Amino acid sequence: MTAATWGSGIALTALVAGIVAFVAVKGYSVLSLEFLLEPPRDSMTRGGILTPLVGTIQLVAVAMGFAIPIGVATGLYFAEYARDDLFTSALRLAIRSLAGVPSVVFGLFGLSLFVILFRFGPSLLSAALTLGCLTLPLMVTASEQAFLAVPRDYRDASYALGASKWQTIWKVVLPSAAPTVITGIILSIGRVAGETAPIMFTGAAFFAPNIARSLFSEVMALPYHIYVLATAGTFIEETRGIQYGTVLVLLLLVLGICSVGIFMRSRFRRRMRR
């Protein structure tokens, strides 16, 4: 079993490395400072990816600003306050079920709720809130498991020293669970940054000349930009280099964000060991 586990891990790592290497070889030639700092032009056959790159960062920032407080607070409620009854079990089952819903369904949900009912229109806000809803099930589940993994002895020791329940949660439970919570946030960011279907219906623009100036502006995003270039562009074959270059930038962006999260998680763990 040890050999099989190591073999599976090595095979998966080799597969991912092969995909990244293939994209890097195909897209490295177009990478330059101008490619990152110029907006698309000439029917997106020339120029760079500044507009979709900034749009992706905007979407991730707004979506995480919405999802992280709600997801962590909900996980904390389930772990520390919710009773073990039928209602709580039904809520947990609903959240676990939402984690398996296809992303296109969330896109239609966002279209109905945020774009039409709330009248936000196709916008950065509608797309980001839809992505936030998409990542909430993962965020809630990861947070709940992180809080439940904190040993009961930590809580008992805090109570024995006269701390209240909220002081125990704030000073003991949250710092102890922080590394695992950050891991859930990292996974959520990676999913949000790479989703196409939810933003197609809620705010992603085929082409926008300028960066979104407000929450109610349409926004370009790297995943949808790749989809447009590869399937609906005017000159699909001529833009192959731009397509692979955009994919490579998206991969590097996600890896960069995840690296920051891993660094923060390591700092929390070292601080807790002290």
The length of the chain is: 274
Say what the pTM is.
0.88
Residue 101: both structure tokens together: 């819903």
**CA–CA separation, 258 and 188 (whole Å):** 10
Q: Which amino acid is at 229?
A: L
Q: Which of 82, 39, 36, 68 is closest to 250 using CA atoms?
A: 36
Q: At which residue do the structure tokens 């904190």 appear? A: 150
Write the DSSP assignment of 142-184 as a string of letters. HHHHHHHTS-HHHHHHHHHTT--HHHHIIIIIHHHHHHHHHHH
Q: Pairing between strand 40-41 and 46-47?
A: antiparallel
Q: Which of 162, 192, 166, 170 is closest to 253 using CA atoms?
A: 192
Helix (H, G, I), strand (E, B) or coil at 234: coil
If you ran DSSP here, which 8-state letter would residue 44 be given? T
Domain boundaries defined on the chain: 30-273
Query: CB count, 10 Å around CB of 262?
Result: 14
**CA–CA separation, 231 and 246 (whole Å):** 14
**CA–CA separation, 30 and 52 (whole Å):** 16
Q: Are 51 and 40 in contact (CB under 8 A)?
A: yes
**CA–CA separation, 123 and 143 (whole Å):** 29
pLDDT tens-place values along the chain, 274 residues long: 999 999 999 999 999 899 889 998 988 888 888 888 888 887 777 888 999 999 999 999 999 999 999 999 999 999 999 888 888 889 999 998 998 889 999 999 999 999 999 999 999 999 999 999 999 999 999 999 999 999 999 999 999 989 998 999 999 899 888 888 888 888 888 888 888 889 988 988 888 878 888 999 999 999 998 888 888 656 777 788 888 999 999 988 888 887 877 787 777 777 766 6
**Cα 23–Cα 52–Cα 27 angle in degrees, nearest 5:** 20
Under CATH, what is the fold of the domain 30-273? Answer: MetI-like fold (1.10.3720)
**CA–CA separation, 123 and 108 (whole Å):** 14
Helix, strand, coil shares of the chain, percent, nearest 5, are 75, 0, 20
